C-alpha cells in the first residue's frame, strides 16, 4: 500500500489533537511517525509485527494509545519496557519524549532486531534494546532495581506481569501496566502478589482514547515500588505462570 505522507500527517494531527495530545507533535516528530509507519508496514510480513495495518488504526490504537502515558514520566526518567514486541510503548514514547531513556526488552530476537533498527533509523538515541526473558534479566544485578519505571502493554495478566516487572523497579519508582477492560478484576486478584514483590498503593488511572464516534477506556495500572523485591523473585517462568503469586 502506498502511504501518502501529507494524508498520514493530517490524520495523525487530527487524532492527537482530538485526544489532547496535539502539543506533543512537531514537524519532525510527525515525520518520524510517518517513517515508522512506512517501515512497520514494509517489514510486517518478515517480523510479524502487528495485526493492525490500516494507518488510521495504527495512529489511534498504537501511537495515540502509547502517547497517552507520556505524561506519567518525569524528565529524564529511566524506563524498562518489558515485552516491547514491535516497539510499543517504546517507540511512540521515544518519539514524543526525547528526554527519556528506554531499554526495550523482548524474548523474541526478530522483534528486538526490528525495534533496534527502527530506533537507529529514526534517530531515537534514548532507546537501547536487549533480547532477554524478563525473569532472567531481573536476576542480573546491572538491571535489578535499576529503573525508575517498568512499562508493559499487552504482555501478561497482572499477577504474572508484576513478577516480571516489579523486580526491575528501584524503590521509589513505579510499574506502569497498560491494561484492557479487565484491569479492575486483575488488580483485585494481584494485590497479594504486588505486596510480596515490594509494591504498594496500586491504583488505576483511566485514560480515554477518542476515535471518531467512540470513546475507548484505557486503564493503566500504576504500582509504587515501596520495598526491595525478595531475592526469590522472579521465579522460573513455568512457576510464575502455573502458580501466580
Q: How far is the CB of 4 from ligand SAM (least distance, A)?
A: 25
Closest CA to 223 of 244, 206, 201, 207: 201
- Shortest distance in whole angstroms from residue 114 CB to ligand SAM: 11
The binder of ligand SAM chosen from 83, 92, 167, 199 (CB under 6 A): 83
Q: Which one of residues 64, 67, 84, 245 is an interface residue with ligand SAM (CB under 6 A)?
A: 84
Asked if 35 and 43 touch (Cβ cutoff 8 Å), the reply is no
In contact, 187 and 202? CB cutoff 8 Å? yes
Contact predicate 12/30, CB 8 Å: yes
Q: Binding to ligand SAM by residue 111, rule CB under 6 A?
A: yes
Interaction of residue 155 with ligand SAM, rule CB under 6 A? yes
| Residue 153 is a binding residue for ligand SAM (CB under 6 A) | yes
Please, which residue, 13 or 70, has the CB nearer to ligand SAM?
70
Which region, judged by CB under 6 A, interacts with ligand SAM, from 36-44, 103-111, 119-127, 138-146? Answer: 103-111
**CB of 45 vs ligand SAM, minimal distance in Å:** 17
Minimum distance from residue 62 beta carbon to ligand SAM (Å):
7
- Total site size for ligand SAM, rule CB under 6 A: 18
**How far is CA 40 from each of CA 65, 115, 118, 119, 182, rounded to the nearest angstrom?**
17, 10, 9, 12, 29
Q: Does 170 bind ligand SAM (CB under 6 A)?
A: no
Interacting span for ligand SAM (CB under 6 A) from 23-31, 37-45, 152-160, 225-233: 152-160
CB 132, min distance to ligand SAM, A = 7
What 3-state class would DSSP assign to 245? Answer: coil
Largest CA distance in the chain: 53
Distance CA 187, CA 176 (A): 12
Q: What is the DSSP letter of 156?
A: S
Whichever of 13 and 48 has its CB closer to ligand SAM, that residue is 48
**Contact at 8 Å (CB) between 161 and 245?**
no
Cβ at position 150, least distance to ligand SAM in Å: 12
Pairing of strands 169-178, 127-131: unpaired
Count of C-beta atoms within a 10 Å radius of residue 45 = 8
**Residue of 25, 119, 134, 138 that binds ligand SAM (CB under 6 A):** 134
Choose, by CB under 6 A, the member of 133, 146, 191, 235 that binds ligand SAM: 133
Determine contact, residues 150/169, Cβ cutoff 8 Å.
Answer: yes
The C-alpha cell at 71 is: 505524561
Interface residues with ligand SAM (CB under 6 A)?
83-86, 88, 105-108, 111, 133-135, 153-155, 164, 237
Amino acid at each position: 500500500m502506498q502511504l501518502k505522507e501529507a494524508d498520514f500527517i493530517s490524520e495523525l494531527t487530527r487524532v492527537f489533537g482530538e485526544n489532547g495530545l496535539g502539543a506533543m507533535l512537531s514537524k519532525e516528530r510527525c515525520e518520524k511517525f510517518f517513517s515508522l509507519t512506512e517501515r512497520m508496514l514494509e517489514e510486517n510480513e518478515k517480523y510479524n509485527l502487528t495485526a493492525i495495518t490500516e494507518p488510521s488504526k495504527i495512529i489511534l490504537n498504537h501511537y495515540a494509545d502509547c502517547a497517552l502515558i507520556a505524561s506519567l514520566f518525569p524528565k529524564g526518567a529511566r524506563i524498562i519496557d518489558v515485552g516491547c514486541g514491535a516497539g510499543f510503548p517504546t517507540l511512540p514514547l521515544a518519539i514524543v519524549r526525547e528526554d527519556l531513556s528506554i531499554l526495550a526488552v523482548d524474548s523474541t530476537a526478530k522483534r528486538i532486531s526490528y525495534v533496534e533498527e527502527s530506533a537507529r533509523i529514526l534517530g531515537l538515541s534514548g532507546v537501547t534494546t536487549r533480547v532477554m526473558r524478563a525473569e532472567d534479566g531481573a536476576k542480573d544485578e546491572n538491571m535489578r532495581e535499576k529503573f525508575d519505571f517498568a512499562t508493559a502493554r499487552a504482555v501478561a495478566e497482572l499477577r504474572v506481569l508484576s513478577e516480571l516487572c516489579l523486580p526491575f523497579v528501584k524503590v521509589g519508582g513505579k510499574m506502569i501496566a497498560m491494561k484492557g477492560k479487565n484491569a479492575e478484576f486483575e488488580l483485585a486478584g494481584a494485590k497479594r502478589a504486588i505486596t510480596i514483590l515490594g509494591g504498594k498503593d496500586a491504583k488505576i488511572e483511566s485514560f480515554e482514547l477518542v476515535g471518531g464516534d467512540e470513546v475507548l477506556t484505557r486503564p493503566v495500572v500504576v504500582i509504587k515500588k515501596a520495598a526491595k523485591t525478595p531475592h526469590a523473585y522472579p521465579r522460573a517462568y513455568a512457576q510464575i505462570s502455573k502458580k501466580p503469586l
